[in-house]
Structure 1
């Protein structure tokens, strides 16, 4: 069975409407169905004046651009979830929307509809996904696996260099998941191509003749907060494919979690942009897409209904919350959010903030925390909620007062920012095994050492000691508070505090008791992370009698024999008078 669907005059609402089949032979935009799936196999071809791609039951292959197949023997374009275990299988395709110069084609699977949007003159295609039945999900992604000969290089906002050679992977020793050691001792791992999603401009793969770029200016459909990290591209270790990865809902650098993906939720649109391999041209195209977002051509009513929210965040001390990280979403754990939509920004030096182009269909909660700098000693989190936006309007929430912990500093190592920045190797480029450079034992003297003398991570067995002087103890029954902020943890998941825990804490010979909640493990430290993983914060009350006027010592000890490259990634250690 074979029939062709082209362009007609009818415009159908995108996400909610039933598919339609209309067309005119005059347009270069088309959907050709070769087999409609009645015998269990579906196959089709989509085409514009710039590209064409064969879309089968599972994969998009034969991606033709300027007379060459960009996929060849690679896997092609597809979507998967629940890790790599389930790929979407298409049972039908139809045109959902059409104009003279645009064709929106939806490919239906039981989990939802993957859309490819073709435009005349467009080098590439837009894509988006409308959920039907993903249900509770940890990982959902689209992938574009391309011919490695045509795409030997990768580019993110963090790096621009050749991908590792497949021959090096084959000759290397596998030391953990997707990580190989070369004979010279260096490592190959796909996690070195990770990035912070909300800091990314665009990323892609390229060669001398062609480039393929993932341009995603609207990131509200990606899960997580400012610290959300994900893979971007890599060399496929089993097939040699060059992989351009779009982690729509990902978990690669977080403790285990999942979200309910609501029926009808739209991920996207994003642009898969093709060119002659020019990074400069891709930069230019990305700027144009950022300017055009939210896209006018995507006529879904919920997508188009947007407003903005602004305010001024002040500490209860009277100082502005300068540089604070601002998150707009739902209440609760920010890095694990992904059921609806998420927005992020930072306050300016006076505490002012504004987030534009926010969807209006739900009430919003604002959360804020220190991003270091002038407020790097504030350990509380601000939260205020139930803000409703109106399309085309700005909601000014006015002055918001952030209640701080209200304690007096004794000492502090590192800024409180949920990151390892400022410490030795903290914030270094993604590098596998960098924590090997951190010592097993360390002594840090307050007033003598500085943050750069404290290493970003602790993996080996041993004790890190903080030596500090107290001139005199306060009168009365004042106690102290030890605050421990951990930027990431990879390990057994046992509690922080007393004997047998992931990190034992002893002050002047007095052991602090285990924290009640076990610490959840994330993969950041052993997946090339050097800045952050999943943040954890603990406070311990220190009786006044445990401290002395004069020299005191805090010991932070790892006694367990940990798997290599597992352990603590530090953010801040702080002691205050309550």
Structure 2
């Protein structure tokens, strides 16, 4: 039976039609006899979906939602989509594609007869400019007790603990023993995420999201995954497909027809091993051949070789295909489709299964053999055609002609390597950084420098220069590479007691990285300041970062500090 776009509308329709009386396993869409919604599923599971919420999720004869809120989709907080109709978009011998329509989007559920769960994808119709777009499940906490990401697997915080704790900021509570509960501790770098979900002794609900080209942001894009809902105790499984929780700004306006997904929502007995095997299978099968959309299937590849102007290969460089001719940071780009890759030891990179379009190509140091490279590479007008390989050949990455005086920390856009940097997500960690710190070049280790500076006080770098280094007309450049900055903390930067600059909340945009549990990155910024001839001297010299204003859990997250002779 072949049915295409048969609309079953809640508005004005009294003659309901069932596509087919489902057998024990056949996928189905069944309208209810009143204006309360629809039931979809197969012989393994089914869910009742109203005009906003999905309820009564039955799997193995048990309702996984119960009194929890259930399944819903929305944007920017709690602006949730209202479904005005449901229809069979496509029916094939293999699957049923059911589409739920709202004014702003279509949400598709692709149901196979023998699959516990469904593929889902979203198509833009009339979304406003937004920062957050998501789908999610909120399940009963008695069956979903634990959460799992690629970096965290643990018991979800008990609801009882939240009820007796003190709220200290958004979705963050402090227990009587001083420890914190926050949903941000369950965040991760989403382009590294294999699968995530919530599970218990007998049930598991998982999101498996291969492809990732529909996500906004670059390699350092972080997002929420799972958590305990603070108002109700529901176990929450988030699918943030456009987000802003760790960025300066990710508001975007999308072209009509943009597709987010498909991803797989998968049910099982709670086995992480089974979910892992399924994730491996899904990643191998991407891009999905079953999605009958010519724009989705139209893809090519991009390859090239990045060589630094000093002859070195750009070994391990981060490579990103993003917006063409853009002045938006690669982390904040999010209108269309994006691809993240890494160059090998010879600077060679290859990105496959790229949607046909015209892109900008960006690259930057990810530490390692090119940890001293402060410049970034950019090339526009990279054209990708269907079925064709776009071979860019050897690309020359220009460096600055400078002589290094000292460098603290690798240039890799994150705080890994510094003390307390790069560990598990943890609220308030920057409060453990000292108010005053002295770092002696040639004696101190990188790990003596803390990942974040927040408290009132001075962090001092001491270094020596010989007479041979000093000439009358020699100028220098001080470069501050920030892995993130959360306002409102101000610092004065001085060299040998001469004020070079004041960095304040008025002069530097804020990201939430530090106060939302990240220990590695918020949004990268690179600041450079000229040091006039004569400021540096023979013998002992100093660079001082003096915090003159502070706010709890805010401040500077460090990536690298460089002082170089520029002439």
TM-score interval (norm. to shorter): over 0.9
Alignment partner of 1:251 is 2:223: no
Which residue of structure 2 lines up, in the alignment, with residue 16 of structure 1? Answer: none
Which residue of structure 2 lines up, in the alignment, with residue 521 of structure 1? Answer: 510
Alignment partner of 1:433 is 2:428: yes
Shift of 1:133: 1.2
Partners of 1:298 and 1:476 in 2: CA distance = 68
Partners of 2:82 and 2:502 in 1: CA distance = 48
Structure 2 residue corresponding to 1:58, chosen from 52, 55, 61: 52
What is the DSSP-based 3-state SS (H/G/I as helix, E as strand, rest coil) of the residue aligned with 1:185? coil
Structure 1 residue corresponding to 2:87, chosen from 65, 72, 94: 94
Which residue of structure 1 lines up, in the alignment, with residue 400 of structure 2? Answer: 405
Q: Deviations over 1:96-145 (max 9, x none)?
A: 11112311111111111111111110010111111111121111111111
Once the two structures are superposed, the pairs formed by residues 144-543 of structure 1 within 5 Å of their partners are 144-330=137-323, 331-332=326-327, 333-360=329-356, 362-472=357-467, 473-475=469-471, 477-492=473-488, 502-514=490-502, 518-543=507-532
Which residue of structure 1 lines up, in the alignment, with residue 30 of structure 2? Answer: 32
Cα distance change on mapping 1:533 and 1:121 into 2, 3 Å: same
Shift of 1:392: 2.0
Structure 1 residue corresponding to 2:42, chosen from 42, 45, 48: 48
Which consecutive unaligned segments of at least 5 residues does structure 2 have? 7-16
Across the two proteins, how many residue pairs are aligned to each other?
550
Shift of 1:457: 0.3
Normalised TM-score (structure 1): 0.93
Shift of 1:23: 3.9
Q: Deviations over 1:39-85 (max 9, x none)?
A: xx55111121211110100011111111111111111111111223x
Alignment partner of 1:132 is 2:125: yes
CA contact (8 A) 1:12 1:98 kept: no
Partners of 2:226 and 2:472 in 1: CA distance = 59
Shift of 1:10: 5.0
What is the DSSP-based 3-state SS (H/G/I as helix, E as strand, rest coil) of the residue aligned with 2:511? coil
Which residue of structure 2 lines up, in the alignment, with residue 82 of structure 1? Answer: 76
Shift of 1:548: 0.4
CA contact (8 A) 1:515 1:538 kept: no
What is the DSSP-based 3-state SS (H/G/I as helix, E as strand, rest coil) of the residue aligned with 2:32? strand
Partners of 1:455 and 1:515 in 2: CA distance = 19
Partners of 1:135 and 1:107 in 2: CA distance = 19
What is the DSSP-based 3-state SS (H/G/I as helix, E as strand, rest coil) of the residue aligned with 2:331? helix
Shift of 1:390: 2.0
What is the DSSP-based 3-state SS (H/G/I as helix, E as strand, rest coil) of the residue aligned with 2:281? helix
Which residue of structure 2 lines up, in the alignment, with residue 497 of structure 1? Answer: none
Shift of 1:171: 1.0
Which residue of structure 1 lines up, in the alignment, with residue 14 of structure 2? Answer: none
What is the DSSP-based 3-state SS (H/G/I as helix, E as strand, rest coil) of the residue aligned with 2:542? strand
Q: What is the root-mean-square deviation of aligned Cα atoms in Å?
A: 1.7
What is the DSSP-based 3-state SS (H/G/I as helix, E as strand, rest coil) of the residue aligned with 1:546? coil
Partners of 1:508 and 1:99 in 2: CA distance = 74
Which consecutive unaligned segments of at least 5 residues does structure 1 have? 1-7, 14-20, 493-500
Shift of 1:176: 1.0
Give 4+ residue runs of structure 1 displaced > 6 Å after superposition: none
Partners of 1:12 and 1:88 in 2: CA distance = 20
Partners of 2:363 and 2:2 in 1: CA distance = 48
Q: Deviations over 1:470-513 (max 9, x none)?
A: 11234352210000011011113xxxxxxxx8221011111113
Partners of 2:551 and 2:465 in 1: CA distance = 38
What is the DSSP-based 3-state SS (H/G/I as helix, E as strand, rest coil) of the residue aligned with 2:220? coil
Shift of 1:9: 2.8
Q: Deviations over 1:303-341 (max 9, x none)?
A: 011111111000000000000010101133100011001
